[in-house]
Amino acid sequence: MADFSLTTLFVVPVGQTALPSSGSTQDLAAGNVGLFRNDHTVATAGNIAAAPHFYVAQGRQNTYLMGSKKSDKIKSGLNVTEWYKIPGCATAVNQIIDINGWNVKCGEDVTLTLRAFSNYINTLYFNGLTRSVTVKAPCCDCGGDPCDTVDVPALIDAVIVKLTQNAPGINPDNIFLGKFFNFERIGTGATAILRVSGKPLTVYGNPCDVAAFPFEYDRMTFRAFVYKGPATTVDFIVDDSCDHVATATITQTANYPKGTAVEIKQMEKNYYSYQTAYQKHLFRQNGYNALESWVNDGSIYDTYYIKFNELGTTKVWDSKVDEDETVIIAVIAGSAYATALNTALVAALGAVTSDLTCITTTSTTTATPTTTTTTSHS
């Protein structure tokens, strides 16, 4: 069963700094968004909880055959099934894998294989972009049992040198691994770590056609395998638990940026037909469209989601699936309006669920492998 909901999107314009404090929906300036009680008076943090219900409304610029855009009736405890907030995050979080616990003997061949996936990568390569490099563990010339001790930092450095070479044997189709990954050694001694970090994906040009789908959710994920011997085409690339070489651990998973202006603009197009009484199709000539965009280019938006059923309906068994409704309010993160809106909605609906933490990651890699650090800020 598909999760389908009748959705209304409200994008708060950049010039609006506060919720309306007087008037009704017909008094809303074009683009302005407000909360209103059942008697069409403004709802505030002080009176919204006691109202029989409230709704969200937005003034229109194009008022031909249409009044203010309004949501359906919303009342916590009666018809609201879920409500949550997605904070805007400008940075796409990239995946990081740490490889440690090296169990290699002197002179052994060690292979590292990387397999990467993204929307564009998958259009070119079946089962991901796969690349392998093989190095020989450094020779041992000291110690009581020279076969049991390997210079792990030297081994990691040799792997990094191979990974960062743009050699035909490694990159037969000119796909340079450095385009997608950063490589660095963390620490010294036997506990040294090889850190592989994904890079942000290239953002390609968007079509100008309003009917096209210009914004694409894309991220790169990858896996790492370390094993003895060279890579072959007859064996599956898997970790051999019976002959452990190293442990590859995902320390940070890839994620998407949230609430970017281009994403909210795409949402305006996706939910356009739910917000107009006529001209529900998006034509390639903008003069024929009733679409109004209130997105401010370059801004990052927090989005509030309220899911609810039609107020006053009685749930009885039937051979059909009832359609619920969703209200999405997009507001510029950190703005005065965002603070006022959050306060009013919490008063009406209770504490908001928001478990997303924005993370930005910086890492450094030098031409000659050295001990470097990676810092995460949340």
| Predicted local distance difference test score (pLDDT) of residue 364 | 42
In this structure, the answer to whether residues 205 and 310 fall within a common structural domain is: no
On whether residue 307 sits in a domain, the answer given is yes
More confident residue, 184 or 127: 184
More confident residue, 145 or 66: 66
| The last residue of a domain, from among 237, 256, 275 | 256
In this structure, the answer to whether residues 66 and 130 fall within a common structural domain is: no
In this structure, the answer to whether residues 202 and 263 fall within a common structural domain is: no
The mean per-residue pLDDT over the stretch 57-75 comes to 87
Contact by Cβ (8 Å): 150, 139: no
In this structure, the answer to whether residues 240 and 268 fall within a common structural domain is: no
In this structure, the answer to whether residues 107 and 251 fall within a common structural domain is: yes
Q: Quick check: 288 pLDDT over 70?
A: yes
What one-letter code names the amino acid at 253?
T
In this structure, the answer to whether residues 134 and 204 fall within a common structural domain is: yes
In this structure, the answer to whether residues 146 and 274 fall within a common structural domain is: no
Q: Quick check: 259 pLDDT over 70?
A: yes
On whether residue 163 sits in a domain, the answer given is yes
Residue numbers of the domain that contains 111: 96-256
Closest CA to 304 of 361, 346, 257, 272: 346
The mean per-residue pLDDT over the stretch 87-111 comes to 89
In this structure, the answer to whether residues 101 and 204 fall within a common structural domain is: yes
The token duo for 244 is: 């452990």
Torsion of CA 338, 343, 347, 353, to 10 degrees: 70
| Predicted local distance difference test score (pLDDT) of residue 54 | 96
- Position 323 confidence tier, pLDDT thresholds 50, 70, 90: confident
- Number of domains, the chain: 2
The token duo for 269 is: 């197009």
Percent of the chain past pLDDT 70, that is, above it, reads 81
On whether residue 316 sits in a domain, the answer given is yes
The token duo for 52 is: 């029989």
In this structure, the answer to whether residues 57 and 44 fall within a common structural domain is: yes
Secondary structure element (H or E) that encloses residue 349, with its range? helix 336-349
Could you give the C-alpha distances from 144 to 139, 149, 152, in angstroms and in order? 14, 9, 18
β-pairing, 129-136 with 109-117?
A: antiparallel
On whether residue 221 sits in a domain, the answer given is yes
In this structure, the answer to whether residues 76 and 147 fall within a common structural domain is: no
In this structure, the answer to whether residues 53 and 104 fall within a common structural domain is: no
In this structure, the answer to whether residues 114 and 133 fall within a common structural domain is: yes
Q: Quick check: 362 pLDDT over 50?
A: no
On whether residue 136 sits in a domain, the answer given is yes
Closest CA to 25 of 49, 60, 53: 60
Q: Residue 267: CA atoms inside 13 Å, Cβ hemisphere, count? A: 21
What one-letter code names the amino acid at 374?
T
On whether residue 270 sits in a domain, the answer given is yes
On whether residue 158 sits in a domain, the answer given is yes
